[in-house]
A and B are shown apart, each in its own frame.
Chain A
């Protein structure tokens, strides 16, 4: 059990007043950038990077990684309270988190989200501790066909779960794919769907789309419904936090499943966004009573949050061990590593065990610090909802537009947000689901790249997706997910399904 003694060494390195202070500062800054949509973890970490040039690498990585944890928690907060995901990976949390907050249970929603996020993160770190040596080898087995299979599985576990007309789901998903293709194409090096507009070269930012579709769209609806927030009546009490904590064990099965999905997606590294969507899709599929999904089902909050954070944490392992960043934030930290004079890669574990295990130890402590800090402040966040809509509404609009500008310092993006806002409003009015569009936008270009790379590798033969046990396994799993309704009917559970479908919610 060599890893364990390394970990203890790591703890002894980082348990000093100096490092713990850095942790707290990092988490607080992180929550701040997470709460402001558009700023987000990758930008926050890049802004902080120059400050770390003069620090020793261990303090520097603690500061940056703790900021990342804080930002992940902050991102969940805005998803739940305002339907504005701060990070792509917290989109799935809005599906049930926002309705629950709207029903006057903001405290419960936030507590559930933070607790499951904390559990997910800890599970991710434990996995890193136990499997660090093995995981690097596993991740190396992933090539383009395997990645495509994973994205296929993510789509498959999400499709067909929606209560909407399949044609409408198809329409929004195709729109999402179209948005994902805008900009420079990796495989051909050409520009697509830019219509000669310079601002479209960088593509359509996913964050701009979700802020418009969810944030502005929702505001337009709320305004139309009479300028009020249903959450105003909710009383915010510390007891609610405790009650929600007591509730947690009921979702152990959801948490366990989401942890496995999250860790798997984190190390492969397909990333936290795929993990949270997949986890949400599966939670809904395996739920006996689907009627509450989309209306504030606690499992709809717990599952994506657990998966998001376990994947986010686990994604640091491929970064350290292979030099492949699993997320945008990990990419920035990797840049930092190089500037501090460390080379990410398999030898980092051998050359600088103090750094690696100090970081891993700080992940345990940092996440505990983050959970305690956010839980303690839940009532404060939740009470924001008691502020009258006539004040909160304009503030959110201002935050969304400044956030949209900040992503790429582009005024064009502010027009895009407005466009997406109107689109989101129309979608809601016409009963088109937004989630498939978002999923296609996030994973669409990655899936396309992986597919086309696979085709180049195989000279155009689809058999590459059945060429080894790993890729075959994932593909079969994906096909099973896609055809599950057919199988379910064949086995004769269709009665149960029909009952569920009647109540089924739109996502």
Chain B
């Protein structure tokens, strides 16, 4: 009897790998930002699209673990080695954080699933500023080293790395002032307390609409696609790229990424990759991307790995120069 059951079980396990992975219990979406943050909006948009189009039968539970600039979420997910029920949402902070702080996880502790969008960076100044283009801005900064105050979200994170890259490229010197979030940096700029910031479009859109801040240039390889005017007849597509305006940084963007713990089956990775691919093809996704002025770009597998490698190389160069690298 026992032998028979054992035999049956054995037969079953032999069959299961042939069946594609399909979640049979609730999937946890681990969000590496606090409620209301950019990553939170990203994960909740994906969640709502999955629910609306019934792309997955298993229910989804979203948990925010944004402590330590997101390290809390990554450490948590890394602890669930091989568990295909922990889908983690982040940015390039997944592979950036371990290089700047002694966090107890390695980038390899998570398996990349896909990147769905690229968020853009712009140089913004106060709406009343006399500076209207990036060249004048850089010239002014060079005339008085360390006088210009750049605000940004967090320390040694994407914003400060970009400011450092601008400084390196132009030879100008800036003072960087870290705030808790891009939203705070936006208001500080609108109030004229800092001179510039490098916020994502979504973080400064409201202030731009009211003319309290204005964009100088965007770190995209090409201009934004045509869209409605935002302020004073000018829209996103009227913003010059930084390269064309005379600041030689071709592209600086932040991917919106999704991860699984290391050691999960290739089947599970494929399952979520397919679900996310379908998400990225819905009209709701196009809406989200347009509203937040991001660029929809689905990267998975080898493409995603290539992207990561080059992104990491660029970042590590800056970290080394500034002496921020933690080995």
Contacts and interface: CB of A to CB of B under 8 A. Distances in A.
A175 B154 CA distance: 25
Interface stretch (A150-158, A164-172, A319-327, A369-377): A319-327
Interface in B52-70: 52, 62-65, 67-69
B187 A50 contact: no
A324 B183 contact: yes
Nearest to B284: A53
Contact of B187 (A140, A184, A185): A140
A53 B101 CA distance: 37
Nearest to B186: A323
A144 B193 contact: yes
Nearest to B184: A324
Contacts of A339: 41, 44-45, 48
A343 interface: yes
B179 interface: yes
A468 to B, nearest CB: 11
Contact of B183 (A203, A323, A347): A323
Contacts, number: 153
Interface string A179-200: 0000111111111000010100
A348 to B, nearest CB: 7
Contact of B101 (A190, A322, A409): A190
Contacts of B154: 186, 189
B44 A408 contact: no
A456 B68 contact: no
Nearest to A338: B41
A142 interface: yes
B100 interface: yes
B218 to A, nearest CB: 18
Contact of A335 (B35, B63, B180, B205): B35
A332 B40 CA distance: 9
B84 to A, nearest CB: 18
Contacts of B94: none
Contact of A346 (B36, B149, B209): B209
B67 A335 contact: no
Contact of B104 (A49, A196, A449): A196
A141 interface: yes
Interface residues of A, number: 52
Contacts of B52: 53
B205 A141 contact: no
B205 A203 contact: no
Nearest to A333: B36
A341 B190 CA distance: 22
Contacts of A196: 104
B209 A191 contact: no
Given A140-B190, A191-B101, A323-B187, A345 B64 contact: no
A476 interface: no
B318 to A, nearest CB: 13
A202 interface: yes
B155 interface: yes
Contacts of A190: 101-102
Nearest to A456: B177
Given A186-B178, A201-B75, A46 B64 contact: yes
A409 B63 contact: yes
A323 B212 CA distance: 13
Contacts of A332: 35-36
A143 interface: yes
B161 to A, nearest CB: 11
A324 B180 CA distance: 11
B177 A457 contact: yes
Contacts of A347: 206, 209-210
Contacts of B72: 201-202, 408
A85 interface: no
Given A189-B155, A338-B292, A409-B63, A198 B75 contact: yes
Interface string B79-107: 10000000000000000000011111100
A42 B36 CA distance: 10
B37 interface: yes
Contacts of B37: 335
A191 B175 contact: no
A49 B29 CA distance: 15
Considering residues A187, A333, A351, which has the most beta carbons from chain B within 10 angstroms of its beta carbon? A187
A129 interface: no
A456 B212 CA distance: 24
A140 B191 contact: yes
A323 B36 contact: no
A334 B36 contact: yes
Contacts of A49: 44
A188 B175 CA distance: 14
A325 B182 CA distance: 12
Contacts of A304: none
Contacts of A159: none
B170 interface: no
Interface string A128-155: 0000000000011111100000000000
B128 to A, nearest CB: 12
A424 interface: no
B242 interface: no
Interface in A392-415: 408-409
Interface in B176-215: 176-180, 183-184, 186-188, 190-194, 202, 205-207, 209-210, 212
A186 B69 CA distance: 9
A453 interface: yes
A143 B71 contact: no
Contact of A184 (B101, B184, B207): B101
A202 to B, nearest CB: 2
Given A49-B44, A143-B188, A338 B177 contact: no
Nearest to B40: A335
B154 to A, nearest CB: 6
A331 interface: yes
B157 interface: yes
A118 interface: no
Contact of A187 (B51, B101, B155): B155
B101 A338 contact: no
Listed residue (A50, A198, A324, A456) with the most chain B CB atoms within 10 angstroms of its CB: A198
B31 to A, nearest CB: 10
Nearest to A341: B291
Contacts of A185: 155
B145 to A, nearest CB: 12
A328 interface: yes
Given A187-B178, A341-B287, 16 more contacts: A50-B44, A50-B62, A53-B52, A144-B193, A183-B67, A188-B155, A189-B69, A191-B101, A322-B187, A324-B187, A332-B36, A333-B36, A335-B36, A347-B210, A408-B67, A456-B177
In the A-B complex, the 3 residue pairs with the smallest Cβ-Cβ separation, listed nearest first, are A345-B206, A202-B67, A189-B155
Interface of A: 42, 45-46, 49-50, 53, 139-144, 183-191, 196, 198, 201-203, 322-325, 328, 331-335, 338-339, 341, 343-348, 351, 408-409, 449, 453, 456-457
